[in-house]
C-alpha cells in the first residue's frame, strides 16, 4: 500500500474532502488543499475535470464544465500538485475518468502508453491514489499494473448492487475501498438507505483494508453515521457547492465545513 | 471474441453500480438468443408488426444515370416507424420483458430511436422514458410529441452540449439510479459489452435478407455494400453476413459535417483517435487531453463523437473502409434520390447515397452495389428546405 494512503487511515476515522481542480481556479484549488489539511482532512481527492462525467450529479458536472471552460488542463493540474507537494505531506488521490488517463500523451518515450505517461507523471508530482469510477473490476488491470509500477494505489469501488462481487473486488483492492453508499450519481441526499455496514463487513471478511463511504453525504450527522460503520467518510458535492456559491472567496467556508465534518467523525475514534 | 472485445476495442468501462446489470443482461441474452420461443416471437414481430422483410429494390434510373455498377437499395425506410431502429428495439424490449423488467429507458438524438422505443414499449406494455438533448427537443419538436403520443415520458437533457452524447450520458446516469425494474435500450452498436453484440445481432437481419434477396434476383453476392455510420448500427447490420465473404467490399460513410479539415465534423474514424468513453474502447473525437470534442453534422442521427467498437476493429483490420461525406454532398444526394427514384431518404442514409454516386461510375456494369437506405426522409424535409434557404418550419 502507498505509505501516505496508509497514513490517512492510521489516526482513527478519516474525513476525505473532494475538490474539482480549477473551480474556480487552480490558485484557489491549491489554497483549498492547504485549508483542508489545516482543518483536519486525512486525504484530499482532487477531481481532474472531464467533459462528460457520467458518474456525477448536476453539482459536480457543472464544476467540471466551469473548470474546463476556465482553461484547466491535466498538465496544469500536475504542475499544481508538484507545488502542493513541496508544502505538505497530505495524502492526495486523483479522481477522474478513464479517458483522461488513457488518452494522456505527452511524448514520454520511456512510457508504453498514455496511461503509463499519466501515472508516471502523477507519481512524480506526488499523487498517492487514483480513483476511476468508469473502470470496474473487469477492466482494472489495464490501469492497475501501471499504478503498481509507480507506487500509486488504484482505488476499487463497491456499490449497493455489487453483492456477490464484493469479495472478489476486496481481495484485489489496494489502498482503501471506496464504498458507494447509494444508487445513482454523486450528489447530496436527504437519507442513505443502503446497509453500508453490511457492505463494509463483506469487504473486511476478505481483506483487512480501510473502507471509506462516499456519495450522498453532506451533513455532520450523515458523516458520523457513515464513519461509524466504516473507516471514513468522503464528501464531494457539498464542498463543490460551496465553491460554486462563494467562488474566489470559498476557502474560509470550505475550511470551516471540513473542520466541522472532521470533528463529527473524530468523536467516533 | 472474449470479454466483449473486438480486437482491442469494446470492453465494459462503466461504474461498478451497473456491472451486475450488464452481466445479468449478457446471461439473459445468451439464454434467449438460443430459445426457439423467443426467436419465433421476434420473427413474428419483425414480419407482422415491423413489415419485414424490407424490400431490396433495383434502382434502375439511378443505375442508368450513373452508368456503372447495378444499384440496389435496401429499403429499411419502409419499416414501421420509418427506419432500421425498430429491429433493435423490438429485440431489446422483448428481451427486457422476458427478463421481467417493467420499464425501459433510452437516449435519442433526432428522435428516431426514441420513437421506436416508445412504439415497442406501447406494444409490449412497458413504462418508457426517453432522454433527449434539449437542443434536439427544440429542433425535433414533432418527434417529442410522437413519443408522448405513444405514452413515453420525454426528458430534455441540459447538461454538457445538450445533444446526443449528453443524452447517452444522462440515460446511463438514470440507469444507475433505478436498475432493478429497468432496462436501458441502447440505440446503437456502442456502449459497454454486451450492447454492441446484442444490437448487432438484432440488426444483422438486414444483411441476412440482402444476401437471400440478391441470391434470388441475381444469383450472386454483391460487390460492395454501403451504409452510413454514426454509432454504426445500420452499417453493422448491413455488413455482418458479408464479413466472411472477402469478395464483398464493405464501406461505411461517416458524417464529415463541414469537412474533415474543419472542427465542425463528426467523422470519427477520419479525425478521431483511440479512447475510452460511454463504456467502450474505440475511436473518439477528442482533444489532446482526452476531453470529448463537440461534434457537428447536419444529420442529428450521425452527430456522435464515437463509433461502435466492431467498426473500429473492421477499420483496424482493413476489412471495411470508412469514408467521410460532407453535409453538402449529403444534401445533394438527398435531393438526387428524391428526384431520380421518387424515394426521399433520411439525411443519414443520404450520406451513403452520396458516396455511391462517386463509387458506382468507377465500377463495371456487371458489378452490384447495395446501399442501405436506413430511414425515410420525411423528418428531414423542413431542415433541408431551410439549408437551401427556404423559410419552412414544422
Q: Measured between beta carbons, which residues in chain B are less than 8 angstroms from residue A99? A: 275-277, 284, 286, 290, 292
Residue A218 pLDDT: 96
The residue among A99, A105, A213 with the most chain B CBs within 10 A of its CB, best to mutate, is A99
The residue among A22, A52, A211 with the most chain B CBs within 10 A of its CB, best to mutate, is A52
Closest residue on chain A to B162 (Cα): A52
Which whole-number Å values give the CA distances from B210 to A262, B75, B168, in the listed order? 66, 10, 31
Q: Measured between beta carbons, which residues in chain B are less than 8 angstroms from residue A105? A: 288
Q: Measured between beta carbons, which residues in chain B are less than 8 angstroms from residue A135? A: 13
Q: Shortest CA distance to B67 belongs to which of B372, B367, B370? A: B367
Does the structure show a pLDDT above 70 at A156? Answer: yes
Task: Specify the fold of A3-155+218-266.
Answer: TIM Barrel (3.20.20)
Does the structure show a pLDDT above 90 at A268? Answer: no
The residue among B15, B179, B294 with the most chain A CBs within 10 A of its CB, best to mutate, is B15
**CB atoms closer than 10 angstroms to residue B1:** 11
Q: CB distance B3–A68 less than 8 Å?
A: no
Closest residue on chain A to B5 (Cα): A139
Segment A157-168 shows an average pLDDT of 97
Give me the catalytic one of B209, B297, B374, B379: B374
Does this model's pTM top 0.80? My answer is yes
Is B374 among the catalytic positions? yes
Taking the domains of chain A in order of start, what are their residue ranges?
3-155+218-266
The residue among B289, B292, B294, B309 with the most chain A CBs within 10 A of its CB, best to mutate, is B289
Q: Measured between beta carbons, which residues in chain A are less than 8 angstroms from residue B284? A: 99
CB-based contacts of A109: which residues, under 8 Å, 6+ apart? none
Q: CB distance A134–B290 less than 8 Å?
A: no
Q: Measured between beta carbons, which residues in chain A are less than 8 angstroms from residue B176? A: 55, 183-185
Number of H-type helices and E-type strands within chain B: 16, 14
Cell for A88?
505538505
Start-to-end Cα distance in chain B: 46
Residue B394 pLDDT: 67
Segment A138-155 shows an average pLDDT of 97
CB-based contacts of B391: which residues, under 8 Å, 6+ apart? none
Residue B138 pLDDT: 85
Closest residue on chain A to B165 (Cα): A52
Q: Measured between beta carbons, which residues in chain B are less than 8 angstroms from residue A50? A: 290-291
Q: CB distance A161–B179 less than 8 Å?
A: yes
Q: CB distance A136–B19 less than 8 Å?
A: yes
Is B246 among the catalytic positions? no
Burial category of A109 from C-beta neighbours within 10 Å (exposed 0-12, middle 13-18, buried 19 and up): exposed
Q: CB distance A54–B276 less than 8 Å?
A: no
Is B16 among the catalytic positions? no
> For residue B214, which phi and psi values (nearest 5 degrees)?
-70, -35
Per-residue confidence in pLDDT tens, chain B, 394 aa: 457 999 999 999 999 999 999 999 999 999 999 999 999 999 999 999 999 999 999 999 999 999 999 999 999 999 999 999 999 999 999 999 999 999 999 999 889 999 999 999 999 999 999 999 998 898 788 899 999 999 999 999 998 888 899 999 999 999 999 999 999 999 999 999 999 999 999 999 999 999 999 999 999 999 999 999 999 999 999 999 999 999 999 999 999 999 999 999 999 999 999 999 999 999 999 999 999 999 999 998 899 999 999 999 999 999 999 999 999 999 999 999 999 999 999 999 999 999 999 999 999 999 999 999 999 999 999 999 999 999 887 6
Of A103, A104, A159, the CB nearest to B16: A159
Give me the catalytic one of B26, B74, B76, B107: B107
Q: CB distance B17–A183 less than 8 Å?
A: yes
Segment A80-90 shows an average pLDDT of 98
Residue B1 pLDDT: 42
Each residue's pLDDT tens digit, B4-52: 999 999 999 999 999 999 999 999 999 999 999 999 999 999 999 999 9
Q: Measured between beta carbons, which residues in chain A are less than 8 angstroms from residue B16? A: 133, 136-137, 157-159, 161-162, 165, 169, 180
Each residue's pLDDT tens digit, A102-121: 999 877 767 778 999 999 99
Interface residues of chain A, partner chain B, Cβ below 8 Å = 50-52, 54-55, 57-58, 61, 65, 68, 73-75, 97-105, 114, 133-139, 157-163, 165, 169, 180, 183-185
Q: CB distance A137–B179 less than 8 Å?
A: no
Each residue's pLDDT tens digit, B133-147: 998 898 788 899 999
Q: Measured between beta carbons, which residues in chain B are less than 8 angstroms from residue A52? A: 160, 165-166, 169, 277-278, 292
| DSSP state string for A75-127 | HHHHHHHHHHHHH----EEEE--HHHHHT-----TT-SSHHHHHHHHHHHHT-
Cβ atoms B131, B171 nearer than 8 A: yes
Residue B2 pLDDT: 52
Give me the catalytic one of B70, B74, B85, B281: B85
Residue A170 pLDDT: 98
Helices (H), chain A: 3-8, 26-38, 58-69, 74-87, 98-102, 114-125, 141-149, 166-171, 196-206, 220-228, 237-246, 251-266
Sheet with B5-6: list strands edge to edge. Answer: B5-6, B9-13, B279-284, B273-277
Closest residue on chain A to B14 (Cα): A134
Closest residue on chain A to B164 (Cα): A52
Q: CB distance B286–A103 less than 8 Å?
A: yes
Quote the mean pLDDT of chain B: 96
Q: Over the range B87-114, which residues count as b (16 or more CB within 10 Å of their CB) and which as e?
A: bbbbbbbbbbbbeebeebbbbbbbbbbb
Distance CA(B4)–CA(A12), nearest Å, equals: 43
Cell for B243?
464479413
Each residue's pLDDT tens digit, B212-240: 999 999 999 999 999 999 999 999 999 99
Its ipTM equals: 0.97
Of A54, A100, A161, the CB nearest to B173: A54
Q: CB distance B289–A169 less than 8 Å?
A: no
Residue B139 pLDDT: 78
Q: CB distance A114–B290 less than 8 Å?
A: yes
> 3-class SS at B340?
helix
Q: CB distance A134–B13 less than 8 Å?
A: yes
Amino acid at each position: 500500500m502507498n505509505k501516505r494512503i496508509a497514513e490517512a487511515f492510521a489516526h482513527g476515522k478519516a474525513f476525505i474532502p473532494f475538490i474539482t481542480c480549477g473551480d474556480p481556479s487552480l490558485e484557489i484549488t491549491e489554497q483549498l488543499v492547504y485549508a483542508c489539511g489545516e482543518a483536519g482532512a486525512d486525504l484530499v481527492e482532487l477531481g481532474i475535470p472531464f467533459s462528460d462525467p457520467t458518474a456525477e450529479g448536476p453539482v459536480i458536472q457543472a464544476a467540471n464544465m466551469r473548470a474546463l471552460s476556465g482553461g484547466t488542463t491535466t498538465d496544469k493540474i500536475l504542475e499544481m500538485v508538484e507545488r502542493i507537494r513541496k508544502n505538505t505531506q497530505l495524502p492526495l488521490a486523483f479522481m477522474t475518468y478513464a479517458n483522461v488517463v488513457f488518452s494522456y500523451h505527452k511524448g514520454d518515450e520511456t512510457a508504453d502508453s498514455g496511461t503509463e505517461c499519466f501515472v508516471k507523471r502523477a507519481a512524480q508530482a506526488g499523487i498517492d491514489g487514483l480513483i476511476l469510477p468508469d473502470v470496474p473490476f473487469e477492466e482494472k488491470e489495464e490501469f492497475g499494473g501501471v499504478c503498481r509500477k509507480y507506487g500509486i494505489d488504484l482505488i476499487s469501488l463497491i456499490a449497493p448492487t455489487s453483492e456477490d462481487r464484493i469479495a472478489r473486488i476486496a481481495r484485489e483492492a489496494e489502498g482503501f475501498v471506496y464504498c458507494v453508499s447509494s444508487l445513482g450519481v454523486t450528489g447530496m441526499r436527504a437519507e442513505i438507505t443502503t446497509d453500508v455496514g453490511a457492505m463494509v463487513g463483506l469487504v473486511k471478511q476478505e481483506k483487512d483494508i480501510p473502507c471509506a463511504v462516499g456519495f450522498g453525504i453532506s451533513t455532520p450527522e450523515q458523516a458520523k453515521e457513515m464513519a461509524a460503520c466504516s473507516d471514513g467518510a468522503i464528501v464531494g458535492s457539498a464542498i463543490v457547492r460551496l465553491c460554486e456559491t462563494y467562488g474566489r472567496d470559498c476557502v474560509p467556508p470550505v475550511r470551516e465545513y471540513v473542520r466541522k465534518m472532521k470533528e463529527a467523525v473524530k468523536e467516533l475514534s | 471474441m472474449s470479454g466483449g472485445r473486438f480486437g482491442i476495442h469494446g470492453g465494459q468501462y462503466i461504474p461498478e453500480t451497473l456491472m451486475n446489470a450488464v452481466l445479468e443482461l449478457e446471461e439473459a441474452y445468451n439464454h434467449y438468443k438460443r430459445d426457439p420461443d423467443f426467436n419465433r416471437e421476434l420473427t413474428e414481430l419483425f414480419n407482422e408488426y415491423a413489415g419485414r422483410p424490407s424490400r431490396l429494390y433495383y434502382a434502375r434510373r439511378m443505375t442508368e444515370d450513373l452508368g456503372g455498377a447495378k444499384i440496389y437499395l435496401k429499403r429499411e425506410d419502409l419499416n414501421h416507424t420509418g427506419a432500421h431502429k425498430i429491429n433493435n428495439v423490438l429485440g431489446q424490449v422483448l428481451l427486457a420483458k422476458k427478463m421481467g423488467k417493467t420499464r425501459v429507458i433510452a437516449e435519442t438524438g433526432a428522435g428516431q430511436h426514441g420513437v421506436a422505443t416508445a412504439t415497442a414499449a406501447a406494444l409490449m406494455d412497458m413504462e418508457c422514458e426517453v432522454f433527449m438533448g434539449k437542443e434536439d427537443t427544440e429542433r425535433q419538436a414533432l418527434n417529442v410529441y410522437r413519443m408522448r403520443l405513444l405514452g413515453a415520458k420525454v426528458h430534455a437533457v441540459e447538461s454538457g452540449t445538450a445533444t446526443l452524447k449528453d443524452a447517452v450520458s444522462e440515460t446511463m446516469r438514470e440507469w444507475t439510479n433505478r436498475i432493478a425494474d429497468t432496462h436501458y435500450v441502447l440505440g446503437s452498436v456502442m456502449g459497454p459489452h454486451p450492447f454492441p453484440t446484442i444490437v448487432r445481432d438484432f440488426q444483422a437481419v438486414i444483411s441476412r435478407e440482402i444476401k437471400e434477396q440478391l441470391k434470388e434476383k441475381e444469383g450472386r453476392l454483391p460487390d460492395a455494400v454501403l451504409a452510413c455510420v454514426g454509432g454504426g448500427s445500420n452499417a453493422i447490420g448491413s455488413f455482418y453476413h458479408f464479413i466472411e465473404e472477402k469478395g464483398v467490399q464493405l464501406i461505411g460513410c461517416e458524417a464529415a459535417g463541414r469537412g474533415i479539415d474543419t472542427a465542425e465534423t463528426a467523422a470519427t474514424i477520419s479525425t478521431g483517435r483511440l479512447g475510452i468513453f460511454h463504456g467502450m474502447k474505440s475511436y473518439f473525437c477528442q482533444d489532446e487531453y482526452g476531453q470529448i470534442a463537440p461534434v457537428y453534422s447536419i444529420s442529428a442521427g450521425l452527430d456522435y463523437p464515437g463509433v461502435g467498437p466492431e467498426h473500429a476493429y473492421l477499420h483496424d483490420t482493413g476489412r471495411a473502409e470508412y469514408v467521410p461525406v460532407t453535409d453538402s454532398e449529403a444534401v445533394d444526394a438527398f435531393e438526387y434520390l428524391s428526384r431520380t427514384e421518387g424515394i426521399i431518404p433520411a439525411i443519414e442514409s443520404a450520406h451513403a447515397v452520396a458516396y455511391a454516386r462517386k463509387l458506382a461510375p468507377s465500377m463495371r456494369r456487371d458489378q452490384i452495389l447495395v446501399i442501405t437506405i436506413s430511414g425515410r426522409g420525411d423528418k428531414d424535409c423542413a431542415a433541408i428546405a431551410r439549408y437551401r434557404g427556404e423559410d419552412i418550419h414544422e
